[in-house]
Amino acid sequence: MGNLNKVILEGRAGKDPELKYTTSGMAICSFSLATSDKKKDGAQVTQWHNVQFFQKQAEIVKQYIVKGSHIVVIGKIEYQSWEDKDGNKRNKTVINCNEFYFLGKKEGGSNTSPQNAIPPQDDFGQDPSPTDSDPNAGLPF
């Protein structure tokens, strides 16, 4: 059996998504997602996650998600490290998403987008092959 790298987060968009295009024309949409938990003492703890979508999903996310949207995202975790222009080592954790679902509308706002309308895609926004969508593909029984 292979390794599993899968992240499922439920939360609210911390800002409006930002859509950019690579030099090769691939769309990348990113935004922060807030998740909250309560400690035993009742204090609420909020964690911030950097999430991004690719290609057609990136364009759809930009169109429908706004700051405060309540959503579930599914993807893979990626740890990035680099040196900045001053030679300092920098690190960032990103969730590369391939699915998302709307859970409701923003408080006081309206949600005109279709519910659960986005089909899953692989790591970089490509539609999965038919064998990827069949959970029993390749099993000997």
What is the tens place of the pLDDT at every residue in 18-64?
Answer: 999 999 999 999 999 999 998 889 899 999 999 999 999 999 999 99
What is the reported pLDDT for 114?
42
Q: Which whole number is the average pLDDT over 118-141? A: 46
pLDDT of residue 128: 43
CB contact at 8 A, 40 and 98 = no
Q: What are phi and psi of 62, to 5 degrees?
A: -60, -35
pLDDT in tens, 103-116: 876 555 444 444 44
Q: What is the pLDDT of residue 107?
A: 53
Q: Is the dihedral of CA 30, 117, 59, 102 positive or negative?
A: negative
Confidence of residue 127 (pLDDT cuts 50, 70, 90): very low
Domains of the chain from N-terminus onward: 7-133 (2.40.50.140)
Higher per-residue pLDDT: 129 or 90:
90
> Which pLDDT belongs to residue 123?
45
What three-state secondary structure class fits 74? strand
